[in-house]
Structures are given as structure tokens and as C-alpha cells.
Amino acid sequence: MIDWSQYPNFSKHEFDCKHTGKNEMQPEFLKRLQILRTVYGKPIVITSGFRHPSHPVEIKKNNRGVHTYGVAADIAVDRTDAFELLKIAFTLGFTGVGIKQHGDGRFIHLDTMPEHPNFIRPTVWSYR
């Protein structure tokens, strides 16, 4: 059971799977995200946290995505704020960084997935 009071800038609800309502976020990831938020000094809007393997985005994949392990979040952010957030994220040891900075729904994906047969880490990618 996660003690959400240790993450004062976040709530359980914003990390709940939008498909099932389940939440299996890992405390070490949340701790790192809270440090990021504290250093960043601005609100962080989570657009996706935990995803159950039955989530529509996940069932399209050949292998489970990092969101299903509770070590990832997508953050709504763009332009200079995105750059500032990324600078801090790299210093805090996030190992997976996905960037979508075009069109509507701009965000940055951050995760702490370790090296795994299905995931090369550290890595950075962009979304189309």
C-alpha cells in the first residue's frame, strides 16, 4: 500500500488506470517524480500513469509497456517548460524519455524502467 502523503504534489487518482481504475505505481518511481516536481517548482499534470495490461493502448503492443510496471508517467508540458523539465529529469536518472512536442496533446513520457529484454535503457524517443 502506497502512502500518498509522501508525494504532496500528486494524488492516487491521477495515476489510476483510465481503463480499469487500478493503480500499481511503484514508490521509488513516485519518489523520483516528487523530487522532479519539487526542483521544477511548477505544477505537473499527469496525463497517464499506471496502465493495466488490458488497457486499450497496451493490448495493441506485442509486449507489456512500461506503464504496466508502474514506473512511468506522461506529463502534459510543452515548449520552454518541456526543455526545463527534461534538463531536470536527466539529472535525476530517468532512464526512458519519450517526447511529443507537435500538434495537440504535447507531453513528455518519463520512466525508470531498468534494462530489460523488451526495453533498452537508457533511451530517448519521439512520438509521431
pLDDT in tens, 114-125: 988 889 999 999
Measured in residues, the chain has a length of 128
Nearest partner of 54 among 10, 12, 21, judged by Cα: 21
CA 108 to chain CA centroid, nearest Å: 8
Let me know if residue 83 belongs to a domain: yes
Let me know if residue 77 belongs to a domain: yes
**pTM of the full predicted structure?**
0.95
List of E strands, 13-70? 45-48
Contact, 2 vs 12, CB < 8 A? yes
Let me know if residue 95 belongs to a domain: yes
Let me know if residue 7 belongs to a domain: no
Its domain, for residue 88, covers 13-126
* CATH code where residue 99 lies: 3.30.1380.10
Domain count across the chain: 1
Let me know if residue 5 belongs to a domain: no
From residue 15, alpha-carbon distances to 65, 90, 128 in Å are: 15, 22, 24
Let me know if residue 118 belongs to a domain: yes
Let me know if residue 73 belongs to a domain: yes
pLDDT in tens, 87-123: 999 999 999 999 999 999 999 999 999 988 889 999 9
Residue that is written with C-alpha cell 526543455 in the block: 83
Cross-strand partners of 111: 72, 96
Let me know if residue 2 belongs to a domain: no
pLDDT in tens, 2-22: 999 999 999 999 999 999 999
